[in-house]
Structure 1
Amino acid sequence: MNPLRRVATLSFVTVMISISAFPLHTQRAWSIPNTYATARSVLVEATVQANPPKITLYWDHAQASSNIVVSRKSKNDTFFPLPLATLPGSATRYEDTDVQVGVGYEYKVWTNPSQEGYVYAGIQIPMVEDRGIVHLVVDNTKSASLELELTRLEMDLRGDGWEVLRDDVSPYDSVENVKSLILGHYNANPNRLKAVFLFGRIPVPYSGNFAPDGHSNHIG
């Protein structure tokens, strides 16, 4: 079963992410099976060089494209400015030499028709020591079978600058109870809790009549 990802904004946290249980291992982007989602994406990776400064982007071969456009912006910019380059559809890399050490850049690689991908890269960017608190809510039917993977996930989050608060809940719990659990942590740490990470089949509310990920079994 393919991983299910859901993103929704909350009024008191930055982002809510739901990920169904799957092995947490690293693989090259273009080894992922060619599903509809990956077929509509440009899967971008980046490497960096300090002297002379250079960021090189790599991507899998884009499908049915007459050209590939590369744009760049700073982390806090809202929109991408004019393209850095327009490349032939057969291109699979781009070297950006107009970069500074210690500065991060967000790149967009997109094609015509619509495929796009993003990557954030920089050379010797200062480490973020404290991102705040992330509340990790885990489907308790996966706690034992994925114990090692979940431990690794917590270690990775801490290594990325997060303080981790974890709760395991039943996929059959009520939405109200899960919301109360999250609100309790927020009320205890209103200035520190920045994100909620939902792992597995966590009860969440739905509203409206829309399935943005295309899965009609949970329209709302």
Structure 2
Amino acid sequence: MKNRIDARPPPNIKSLAVLLTAVLCAPGLFAQTSLDAAMRVTAVAQAVSPVLTLRWPASAFPGSAIAVTRTELKSGVQTYFPLKAAVTSFADQTAKPGEVYQYQLNQMLTVGAGSFYRNGMISAAYDRPLADGMDRVCILVDETMAVELAADLEQLVIDLRDDGLLAVLHTLPRMVVTPWDTSATAGGARRAECEAVKSAVRRFYDQDPASARALILVGHLPVPYSGLQAPDGHPDHYGAWPTDIYYGDLDGEWTDLYVNQPSANLTAQNLPGDGKFDPQYSFSPLELTVGRIDFSDMPSMGVPNGVRGNS
């Protein structure tokens, strides 16, 4: 099939950061938003060279040269392309038909006396044959929302099917243990909640690992916390952060033994045995791409209980 783009999220993203977005990494930059730090990359294919062209919006802030790192997913071979600061596109003159490439873009922006990075990432391929059979997607739904969202979930399954994906849907209990709960029983209960979700994911994956592609979490299912970082630079945020890749990493080691970070911000606090994990990165490729749709604690989105946001 000609002129086909494969823009799947790469399966081996190892950072706990959300795909295709970046977070502010210098303290004191209060005026910037995550949108300023995100290079929203798109890919276009054509039948003649260059077969792949990347495009992204210009930044409102002055920046350094843009670094493009291309990784050939099959071999792992990386190629570096330095670009001028003001450019908003990159034509890959050496991309080969049928090969899947992961492109990572980085640029440092200057705001007053400070600076921060904006990053982007996309996977793309040209003239890549369609895979035989259907890849499978696991959809796990907060059981308190399943009835109200029945029509929406049915449409989601249809949309995924039309994209060549077979959706498998299950319901699970809503998150109970809050991340700021420091009671004596919270650690064990918090970990048990997350392990119950991961067990459901593992059952889905083990049915046919070769076709298992992605996980979609719908609603306020248990949120894993892990690591020791403050990606936005604020000292009171230093500690554990939401880490849904825990569910997509089925062979990694997720301990809760070593990080010992007391904090007045109990949500970020990470102590041994508190049900918040140690790793800041997953050191093995993810088995599943993971995404979450959850409007809980976001009343401005339209519905206080987080069932459905404004559309």
Query: Structure 2: where are the runs of 5+ without partners?
Result: 1-10, 15-20, 22-30, 110-116, 177-191, 229-238, 244-264, 270-275, 277-311
Q: Determine the C-alpha separation between the residues in 1 that align with 2:266 and 2:32.
A: 17
Following superposition, the deviation at residue 73 of structure 1 comes to 1.6
Once the two structures are TM-superposed, the CA of residue 118 in structure 1 deviates from its matched residue by 0.8
Q: Distance in 2 between matches of 1:190 and 1:52?
A: 38
1:103 equivalent in structure 2:
99
State the Cα distance separating 1:172 from its structure 2 match. Answer: 5.0
Residue 198 in structure 1 maps to residue 217 in structure 2:
yes
What's the TM-score once normalised by structure 2's chain length?
Answer: 0.49
Superposed CA RMSD in Å reads: 3.8
Whether the 8 Å CA contact 1:135–1:196 is kept in 2: the answer is yes
1:120 pairs, out of 120, 123, 126, with 123
User: Which has the larger Rg?
Assistant: 2
User: What count of residue pairs does the alignment treat as equivalent?
Assistant: 189
Is 1:56 the counterpart of 2:53 in the alignment?
yes
Identity %: 25
Give the alignment's TM-score, normalised by structure 1. 0.65
Whether the 8 Å CA contact 1:128–1:160 is kept in 2: the answer is: no
Distance change >3 Å, CA 118–CA 54, structure 1 → 2: same
1:75 aligned residue (45, 61, 73) = 73
How far is the alpha carbon of 1:201 from its aligned partner? Answer: 0.7
Asked whether the 8 Å contact 1:42–1:115 carries over to 2, the reply is yes
**C-alpha contact 2:226 2:242 (8 A) present in aligned 1:** no
Higher strand share: 1
Shift of residue 111, structure 1, vs aligned partner? 0.6
What stretches of structure 1 of length at least 5 have no aligned partner?
A: 1-8, 16-28
Q: 1:1-220 residue pairs with structure 2 within 5 A?
A: 36-62=33-59, 63-78=61-76, 80-81=78-79, 83-87=80-84, 89-113=85-109, 114-130=117-133, 132-172=135-175, 175=193, 178=197, 181-182=200-201, 184-185=203-204, 189=207, 191=209, 194=212, 195-204=214-223, 206=225, 210-212=239-241, 217=267, 220=276
Question: Displaced runs of 4+ in structure 1, greater than 4 A?
Answer: 176-187, 190-193, 204-209, 213-216
Task: Assess if the C-alpha contact under 8 Å between 1:109 and 1:118 holds in 2.
Answer: yes
User: Which shows bigger deviation, 167-176 or 92-101?
Assistant: 167-176
Alignment CA distance shift 1:50-1:145 (3 Å): farther
Cα contact 1:101–1:124 (8 A) shared by 2: yes
Deviates more, 1:110-119 or 1:178-187: 178-187
